[in-house]
Structure 1
Amino acid sequence: MIRVTDGTKIRTITIDRPESRNALTSDGLDGLAEAVETTDLPVIYLRGQGTAFCAGADLDTVAELNKDSAEAFAERGQHTANAIERAESVVVAGIDGFARGGGVELALACDLRVATPGATFAEPGVQLGIFGAWGGTARLPEIVGLGDALDLALSGRVVDAEEARRIGLISRITDDPRAVAEEVAENAPDALRVVKARVRDRSSMGVQAAREAERFGELVAEHAENIAATRD
């Protein structure tokens, strides 16, 4: 279900279950988390096989859950989304086609979300009497704002790539999302790690400022020759 291919700078992780629109079972969630956590390459490119990015939770799995096992399944999805968000690698979601529910939630955990013109997005859980519980209720309003988050989560409606870009759900629309991952991978790996950590730091402003200055000093010292060369 989870296929991994390593290049020089990019680990490509493919959710490879196209017959179910790449819906994830418990094993799939565990495999995805492991794939994210076991690389030191500077960039991870996350994609889906076939005509979908990810349909979210496998509904055959969900239908068999009771209260306790459903809670455990949600926690499993949260662990996977947290692994994506906390990875030292920059994680780029390449979204081509269908992204629904947990698939949107996993994309929200990524650092960059890049979609093709034909990509569509929805949080349709309310139509089944449930909701996305892989961290989406926290990340969605943080990324798109409270009003648009409530609109998407309470209506279950489908939005296209243009609207997703307008509300900030994705950062770019392109025919080749992987090219964005390759663009990011051309930058200095240590700088990528530091920038990701600093931007995602939710500490107080004072703590963030001190950490930012410290890491900036370390990077300037590390890359002094490159910086000097640009002045010539």
Structure 2
Amino acid sequence: MDDGDERGSSSGRTAPGDAVRVVTLDRPDRRNALTPDGLDALEAAVTGTERPVVYLRGAGPAFCAGADLDVVAGLDREGAEAFAERGQRVADAIESADSVVVAGVDGPARGGGVELALAADVRVATPDATFAEPGVKLGLFGAWGGTVRLPRVVGEGEALDLALSGRTVDAEEALRMGLVSRVTDDPRAVADELAANDPVTLRTVKKRMRDDSPRAVQERREVEVFGDLVERHADAIADERDS
């Protein structure tokens, strides 16, 4: 897919006038495995934009292999904890970004790659996408929020099965278990579809869906922001009513 955006290492590809910022994990020779510097670059690319939608993808035949094992192999306990915290911080930044983040998974997503996708608001796979949390085979596990987000997204039973077995699931099984919401040949088109909607409403819906306050607080906020949006879009609503 040629979007005409500027390429950089874990940086944004931005087409002029486009409502979508494309962020490409760009180490195809390492299946886009992430180093500490790569994580920092990813965080900056996702959070450093005012565009309403961010589309996260991998360069080459893989989405993301997760943490670079060359880095992990050289860590002591303190360094390992710091690397895990760094990955968690980036996943949290994706989840809390003002932009709606769409992860377009084409090819393998492994370990931290799955965990970064889990932090996105919408996960879309191509038919060639595969997913696995293989850390258990190395005596590890997904520490970039994997034990937190995976059960929240697919349910505890499916999450335990994936994390304890390390098995690989294809796109259709990922769709069945709710790990992705769509399987399509062109995940970028989903990002464009979302970006066609009102940007303020996109941010509002994301914020409301991500709110973990007590239910009564959430419902009160929902009422207030609905009023704000009706007031903001009064003319458009009237035009639609009269059309």
Provide the TM-score with structure 1 as the length reference: 0.99
1:178 and 2:178 are equivalent in the alignment: no
Write the deviation string for residues 61-119 of structure 1: whole angstroms up to 9, x where unpaired. Answer: 00000000000000000010000000010000000001000000000000000000010
The amino acid across from 1:5 in the alignment is R
In the alignment, which of 85, 89, 95 is matched to residue 85 of structure 1? 95
Secondary structure in 1 aligned to 2:23?
strand
Give 1:2 deviation, angstroms: 1.2
Whole-angstrom distance in 1 between the partners of 2:189 and 2:237:
26
Aligned residue in 2 for 1:4: 12
Aligned residue in 1 for 2:134: 124
Give 1:3 deviation, angstroms: 2.8
Provide the TM-score with structure 2 as the length reference: 0.95
Whole-angstrom distance in 2 between the partners of 1:130 and 1:170:
24
Whole-angstrom distance in 1 between the partners of 2:11 and 2:80:
26
* Cα RMSD after superposing both structures: 0.6
Write the deviation string for residues 33-55 of structure 1: whole angstroms up to 9, x where unpaired. Answer: 01111111000000000000000
The amino acid across from 1:3 in the alignment is S
List alignment gaps of at least 5 residues for structure 2.
Answer: 1-8
Whole-angstrom distance in 2 between the partners of 1:5 and 1:228:
37
The amino acid across from 1:115 in the alignment is A
Aligned residue in 2 for 1:154: 164
Give 1:152 deviation, angstroms: 0.2
| Same amino acid, percent of matched pairs | 66
Secondary structure in 1 aligned to 2:63?
strand
Divergent runs of 4+, >2 A: none
Whole-angstrom distance in 1 between the partners of 2:55 and 2:98:
13
Aligned residue in 2 for 1:102: 112
Give 1:210 deviation, angstroms: 0.5
Aligned residue in 2 for 1:194: 204
The amino acid across from 1:212 in the alignment is E
1:54 and 2:64 are equivalent in the alignment: yes
